[in-house]
Amino acid sequence: MHMADSLLSPEVGITMCAVSALSIGVAIKKVKTEDLAEKKLPLMAVAGAFIFAAQMINIAIPGTGSSGHIGGGILLASLLGPFSGLLTISVVLIIQSLFFADGGLIALGCNIFNMGVIPCLVVYPVVFKPFLKKEITNTRITIASIISVVLALQLGAFAVVLQTVASKITQLPFGAFCAAMLPIHLAIGLLEGVITAFVLIPVFKMRPEILESVQKNIPLKEKISVKNVIIAFGVVAAIVGIVFSFFASGKPDGLEWSMEKVAGTAELETTAPLFESAAKVQEGLSFLPDYNFKNAEEKSQGIQIFGTSFSGLVGMILTFAFAALIAVAITYSKKKISAKSTK
């Protein structure tokens, strides 16, 4: 559900960039004032790498001609907390846009809002968390995951429609676009909900304290080790990003499929100077556009497969590094503030 710049007007794009920037600022402030245990820092980085890898895998939706990939917002919020989850998914989306040309540069604010703010700051605390308030069980995790992810994707898809209509993209009228976007993202949401539960249940079995600490908003105790969970995420991320990525479906994702149904094309044109400038910047930065080498279509199939796997590896490394850097910077800032307050 990565929006392209052509779906937006400059005014809507810039406004949503400001809204998402403000949300990220609030998340940083919250994480700095709340207790982000140091032992969760590697989990933040490796979970971000896993989401990057998982988003490369488009899975065909039977009987639709479309495909979908996980968003990951609910999963990250469940593991890290809503604010740390938002920071992590934002890192993933920023890296995808800058270095892989996945999602427009001006549309980045919309993508962070739709795939990060909505699931992490709205759906997780209002829907997912209450499901586990009384008791955390496999059944409750499954139900909470499916309902929360479906709702998050429905709200995100509806937000895409509203942002597009507000931009006065006449090729995508409100009613027809809604009628295409919401049903296909319901199917994708059901799939992602099952995958989310499939990931969270083993984590809960290995280290129930991870989910419990987020649920109760308390830090992990010093004696609790999350080493096995971190290793497991790292191994799975590597397998998914390097090996499974070239088995991804080539069918259009839910947004592209909806656009083709309504407008007859998934690539609308824009002549706005701001978007043309942004496209040039993105073209210069994205050294692996569409998760492959530049001009990959002109190369052999073997080179293309290697390019996809290489992109998965590079993307995971970048996500891990940037997420870890943010986590360490926030922790350092907190320690500095704490030291000043004790003087």
pLDDT for res 35: 57
In angstroms, the CA 277 to CA 186 distance is 35
3-state secondary structure of 167: coil
Average pLDDT over residues 35-42: 67
Q: How confident is the model at residue 295 (pLDDT cuts 50, 70, 90)?
A: confident
Q: Are the beta carbons of 153 and 184 closer than 8 angstroms?
A: no
Q: What is the mean pLDDT of residues 277-281?
A: 93
For residue 332, is pLDDT > 90? no
Confidence of residue 243 (pLDDT cuts 50, 70, 90): confident
Least confident of 39-48, 126-135, 147-156, 251-260: 39-48
Q: What number is the average pLDDT over the span 232-261?
A: 86
Of the candidates 109, 93, 83, the one whose C-alpha atom is nearest the C-alpha of residue 29 is 83
Phi-psi category of residue 217: left, alpha or beta, with phi > 0 → left and psi -120 to 50 → alpha: left
Query: If DSSP codes are grouped into helix, strand and coil, which group holds residue 223?
Result: coil
CATH number at residue 282: 1.10.1760.20
Question: What is the pLDDT at residue 12?
Answer: 96
- Residues 153/192, Cβ–Cβ less than 8 Å: yes
Over the stretch 169-214, which tens digit does the pLDDT of each residue have? Answer: 889 999 999 999 999 999 999 999 999 999 999 999 999 999 998 8
Q: What is the mean pLDDT of residues 217-240?
A: 85
- In the prediction, which pLDDT does 36 show? 56
Q: Which residue has the higher pLDDT, 270 or 141?
A: 141
* Residue 342 confidence (pLDDT) above 70: no
The predicted pLDDT at position 63 comes to 85
Specify the DSSP class assigned to residue 292.
S
Q: How far, rounded to the nearest angstrom, does the alpha carbon of residue 221 sit from its chain's CA centroid?
A: 28
Percent of the chain with pLDDT over 70: 96
Segment 130-134 mean pLDDT = 92
Average pLDDT over residues 310-325: 93
Largest alpha-carbon pair distance within the chain? Answer: 65
Q: What is the pLDDT of residues 71-97, one digit of tens each?
A: 999 999 999 999 999 999 999 999 999
| CA distances in angstroms from 73 to 87, 115, 166, 310, 333, listed in the order given | 10, 6, 25, 25, 25
In order, the DSSP letters of 27-91 are: HHHHHHHS---GGGHHHHHHHHHHHHHHHT--EEETTTTEEE----HHHHHHHH-HHHHHHHHHH
pLDDT at position 341 over 80: no
**Is pLDDT above 70 for 218?**
yes
Residue 222 pLDDT: 72
Residue 24 has pLDDT above 90, yes or no: yes
**pLDDT of 279 above 80:** yes
CB 195 within 8 A of CB 69: no
- What total number of domains does the chain contain? 1
Asked if pLDDT for residue 161 goes beyond 90, the answer is yes
What's the domain range around 193? 5-341
- pTM of the full predicted structure? 0.94
pLDDT at 37: 58
The percentage of residues in the chain with a pLDDT greater than 90, rounded to a whole number, is: 63
